[in-house]
Structure 1
């Protein structure tokens, strides 16, 4: 996994948009984003490790999404647009890349800048509840991703309005020093 600040320049969303300003794993951890590497192997040892992580974090559900133009056909553009819309979830979410690669962007709370993470097969990321984020494929244009959930997947809340005062967002913001309430 490689992480850096998004350059905010015009261009297709699957382009790297690399500002050349790296973001450290410590910065990601401060945002509540956790990263680990679980290499995908033919022997299936990755499954045992993912199951161990799911048990440690009290996850009981998962799904596997295969995203490609070939696989989604006419729904591809609409699906990619939906995933790229800035949103939050009310629960923590684990993402594990089984095949292919893509970009997850998260909002840095203090600056509102996008932090872009390029994930490839074997990369696992934990997003905290209440963090604004989005996803897009990279130029490889395909991925197979496992998402793990504590319960059933909950709907995404687009940024703004009700999402800004959603209890999961409020709790996320309170995790930062000096923030005691959200207006």
Structure 2
């Protein structure tokens, strides 16, 4: 089950939890996560997703027509250390970032409306949708392994735009959408 919490600003090993208040972590439930960031989450069965139809329904409803699979580990990812640094650089995309965790675990960090980091811990069965235009990053946890499906609408366009990218139209659209989400609270 996905867990999310506010992070500290430590530069210590990025693979650690980094609770803003380690003595009393400030956890965020999925509804709050959506209201603060627009990030959506679905829980699927990582073992039976091919048979149960839930993933197919989500893909059809959201128009996810392309998929591939990525394994991120020292053994499987060429230039592992540099790739991990690249994934952990704060950036945004012009399209949603959709990941379905099959095995392993890791962290997606996203910025809330006050520019604070929220860390999202994903494990098998978690499908996470990070909106276009949100500043975010990814890292593994101390297990150093994740296997995930990636989904796209149409052909994949996976270009990261490092911060600052505030003038991009996807960033402006994201901020406008967040105002709408906030006004519906």
TM over 0.5: yes
Describe the SS at the equivalent of 1:168. Answer: helix
User: 2:162 aligns to what?
Assistant: 158
Cα shift readout 1:103-125 (whole Å, capped 9, x = no counterpart):
0000002x111000000011111
Superposed, 1:1-183 pairs within 5 Å as 1-19=2-20, 20-30=25-35, 31-41=37-47, 44-45=50-51, 48-72=53-77, 75-109=79-113, 111-154=114-157, 155-160=159-164, 163-177=165-179
Aligned mates of 1:152, 1:86 — CA distance in 2: 24
**8 Å contact kept, 2:38–2:178:** no
Cα shift readout 1:39-95 (whole Å, capped 9, x = no counterpart):
21258335x32222111101111111101011125x010000010011111112211
Describe the SS at the equivalent of 1:18. Answer: coil
- Structure 1 residue ranges, 4+ long, deviating more than 3 angstroms after superposition: none
Aligned mates of 1:43, 1:13 — CA distance in 2: 31
Aligned mates of 2:91, 2:169 — CA distance in 1: 14
Aligned mates of 2:140, 2:156 — CA distance in 1: 21
**8 Å contact kept, 2:107–2:121:** yes
Cα shift readout 1:112-150 (whole Å, capped 9, x = no counterpart):
110000000111111111111100000110010111110
The count of residues paired between Structure 1 and Structure 2 equals 173
Aligned mates of 2:86, 2:56 — CA distance in 1: 29
Unpaired runs of 5+ residues, structure 1, are: 179-183
